[in-house]
Amino acid sequence: MNSILLAIILVPIIEIYLLIKIGSEIGALTTILLIFITAIVGVYYAKYEGLNTLRSGFMQLSKNETPAYEVLSGAAIAFAAILLIIPGFATDVLGFLIIFPLTRKFCFNLFFKKIVRKDKKNNFIDGEFEDIEDDNDRKI
Model confidence over 101-122: pLDDT tens digits? 899 889 888 888 877 666 555 5
Give the residue with greater pLDDT, 122 vs 32: 32
Alpha-carbon dihedral sign for residues 105, 107, 112, 113: positive
Q: At what angle do helices 89-99 and 101-121 cross, to 10 degrees?
A: 80
Give the pLDDT band of residue 126 (cuts 50, 70, 90).
Answer: confident
> Which is more confidently placed, 14 or 133?
14
73, 100 contact by CB (below 8 A):
no
**pLDDT value at position 118?**
60
pLDDT (mean) for 78-92: 91
How far is C-alpha 34 from the geometric centre of its chain's CA atoms? Answer: 25
| CA trace torsion 73, 14, 18, 97 (10° rounding) | -10
